[in-house]
Amino acid sequence: MSRRKRSTCLEITIVLVLAFACLVALAGAAGYFVIPSLVETTFGPPSPALGTAQRITSAAELLLNRSRLTSPFDTAGQPRPFSVRMGETANSVAARLEEAGLVASGNAFRTYLVYSGLDTSIQAGEYMLSPAMTAVQIARELQDATPDEVQFNILAGWRAEEIAAALPTSGLTIQPQVFLRIVEKAPGRILPPGWEGGHSLEGYLLPGSYRFARSTSAEEFVAAFVRSFDQVLTADLRSGFSTQGLSLEEAVTLASIVEREAVVADEQPMIASVFLNRLADGMKLDSDPTVQYSLGFNEAQNTWWTNPLSAADLQVDSPYNTYQNAGLPPGPICNPSLSALRAVAYPAQSPYFYFRAACDGSGRHAFARTFEEHLQNACH
């Protein structure tokens, strides 16, 4: 080969090497500048904790999985509960989200968490997540375990003060004292049509599970319970109260006593029948819960329902004490369940005038026609 030909080949080789070097440099520039820039437009800036290499590789992965991360996995998906355990890793959370059908790719989700720095700030707690959310939205949601809504439960048999005591830890901003003032003298504007304002709502705060926005006001809070009560107060229920010769106020009052007396729900109709039999016969009700209501809060026992009652307790001077006063007390002593209201509307038909706790610890009662039989049912 001539010297000129060798020189030409060398020149071509040098040109090819330089061209390849330029391509590598351009690719490197794209990796360093172009890809991260494209990713930032969609996913925001990377975490400052990432090194250069990790930032570039994470950006490339996000670009490849952009549609998986920015589109819902299932646009028709419904919200479902999802728990993040205390101390759970981002890897574990990402894998479980994919298993639960909430994100299309657990690996892509984890990459986004690392890229954005959200992997270190996932909060343990309970969430409501939906496949109709994008993976990016879910990642942001997992940064705050405080939901926009809170669940509030009223247990059957709670008096208003017990509901108030649950407010400080409920996640709502309602002050217990404000709640009690509204319950004690309800403004007509918060009541359902046909309800008269200015009276106590004790007994009309229907037990159950409710969901409230954190911004719910005290009036909206109370109105929700009364509205639920009004909705279950059907024409049939009202008719049942009338059949027993009771007004609505009397029926709710008796149901509140039945609620506190019954431990086993299926005994409520029988207990209602005993009290109705006593009322029809002109006998005092002699109900322990009415005495407990009269006594108020027992600091030593840390309860509103003193137990056991002493002989002196039964002598407490109160219009609610049915050991001292004939007939029904002036109003409800707690907020009864729908089953207790139904027990009063549709009581069992029985010959019984007495009952006391059974001796087997079952929570059931022994019923008796006469006082002598009642004494024989005592535990020995």
pLDDT tens-digit map of 25-80: 444 444 455 677 788 888 999 999 988 889 889 999 999 999 999 999 999 999 89
Report the distance separating Cα 343 and Cα 89, nearest Å. Answer: 52
Q: Where are the beta strands (DSSP E) in the chain?
A: 80-84, 125-129, 149-154, 208-213, 354-357, 365-368
Longest dimension (CA), the chain: 135
Look at residue 5 and tell me whether its pLDDT is greater than 60.
Answer: no
**What would the two tokens of residue 327 be?**
């007939």
Nearest to 167 by CA among 178, 182, 156: 178
Reported confidence tier of residue 142, pLDDT bands at 50, 70, 90: very high
Reported confidence tier of residue 306, pLDDT bands at 50, 70, 90: very high
Measured CA distances, 141 to 91, 122, 137 (Å): 17, 9, 6
Residues of the chain with CATH 3.30.1490.480: 35-147
Instruction: Of 200-204, 343-347, 358-362, give the lowest mean pLDDT range.
Output: 358-362
* Residue 308: cis peptide before it, omega within 30 degrees of 0: yes
The pTM of this model reads 0.68
239-242 CB contacts, 8 Å cutoff, 24+ apart: 239/345, 240/342, 240/344, 240/345, 240/346, 241/344, 241/345
Mean pLDDT along residues 89-98? 96
Predicted confidence at residue 30, as pLDDT, reads 46
Report the distance separating Cα 214 and Cα 217, nearest Å. Answer: 9
Q: Which residues contact 247 (CB under 8 A, 6 or more apart)?
A: 241
Q: For residue 172, count other CB atoms closer than 10 A to its CB.
A: 20
Averaged pLDDT of the chain: 91
Nearest to 254 by CA among 370, 363, 351, 344: 344
Report the distance separating Cα 90 and Cα 280, nearest Å. Answer: 68
Look at residue 125 and tell me whether its pLDDT is greater than 60.
Answer: yes
Classify domain 35-147 by CATH architecture: 2-Layer Sandwich (3.30)
Helix, strand, coil fractions of the chain, as percent rounded to 5: 50, 10, 40
Report the distance separating Cα 157 and Cα 159, nearest Å. Answer: 6
Nearest to 77 by CA among 52, 100, 58, 46: 100
